[in-house]
């Protein structure tokens, strides 16, 4: 790869791509702007045009990660079908993102909760459950889900599904596939939040 128009026009995206690869391979500790410049075959000072320091790079990585996660969950919520189908799609999208981006997810939440986190990052991170909250509220209005604070119900669902993702990335599912574990948790969640049926 050589320095040229490609890097001048897309240097920021190129550096983020290489940075994410480094985080996957070596963790945040292995990340440096100087090494990224070498990886991208640009001058040592080139990354500073987009990231003033390593912390700014980490923030950009975290923001990009949350934007991708939010988009994945929004797309899942837009799936056609019943509430159960769409709820399952969101859960599956979240678990898939975590399993495929475990190192990045850790960075995302660490940077989001850091003292120097920007308002943009914090707000973007908070949107992760937005699609789930909206879907639950819609289902409550339709009488498919029990009454209650939709944000609280979404949080419980998030905690449960996140647990599956953590077990999967920690290799603690004991032979159960990620898909099976996700389906089992979603089945229980759907049963727990379903609106009560008519009395016999």
Average pLDDT over residues 2-25: 78
Query: Does the global pTM surpass 0.85?
Result: yes
The string of pLDDT tens digits covering residues 141-187 is 999 999 999 999 999 999 999 999 999 999 999 999 999 999 999 99
Give the CATH number of domain 1-51: 1.10.10
Q: Where in the chain is the domain with CATH 1.10.357.10?
A: 58-193
The string of pLDDT tens digits covering residues 142-153 is 999 999 999 999
The contacts found for 54-58 with CB under 8 angstroms, 24 or more apart, are 55/116, 57/15, 57/16, 57/19, 57/31, 57/33, 58/28, 58/31, 58/107, 58/111
pLDDT number for residue 89: 97
DSSP 40-69: HT--TTGGGGT-SSHHHHHHHHHHHHHHHH
Q: Where in the chain is the domain with CATH 1.10.10?
A: 1-51
Give the CATH number of domain 58-193: 1.10.357.10
pLDDT number for residue 145: 97
- Cα–Cα distances in angstroms (integers) from residue 84 to residues 63, 110, 161, 164, 177, in the given order: 30, 32, 15, 18, 21
Tell me the angle at which helices 119-126 and 54-77 cross, rounded to the nearest 10 degrees: 30
The string of pLDDT tens digits covering residues 96-134 is 999 999 999 999 999 999 999 999 999 999 998 999 999
């Amino acid at each position: 790869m050589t320095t040229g128009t490609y890097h001048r026009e897309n240097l920021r995206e190129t550096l983020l791509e290489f940075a994410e690869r480094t985080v996957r391979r070596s963790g945040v500790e292995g990340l440096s702007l100087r090494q990224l410049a070498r990886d991208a075959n640009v001058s040592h000072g080139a990354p500073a045009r987009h990231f003033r320091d390593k912390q700014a790079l980490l923030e950009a990585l975290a923001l990009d990660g949350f934007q991708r996660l939010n988009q994945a969950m929004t797309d899942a919520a837009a799936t056609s079908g019943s509430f159960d189908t769409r709820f399952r799609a969101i859960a599956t999208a979240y678990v898939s993102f975590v399993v495929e981006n475990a190192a990045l997810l850790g960075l995302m939440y660490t940077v989001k909760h850091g003292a120097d986190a920007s308002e943009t990052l914090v707000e973007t991170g908070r949107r992760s459950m937005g699609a789930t909250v909206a879907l639950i509220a819609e289902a409550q209005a339709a009488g498919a889900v029990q009454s209650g604070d939709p944000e609280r119900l979404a949080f419980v669902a998030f905690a449960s599904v996140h647990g599956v993702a953590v077990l999967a990335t920690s290799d603690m599912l004991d032979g159960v596939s990620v898909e099976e574990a996700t389906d089992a948790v979603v089945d229980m969640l759907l049963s727990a939040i379903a609106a009560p049926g008519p009395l016999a």
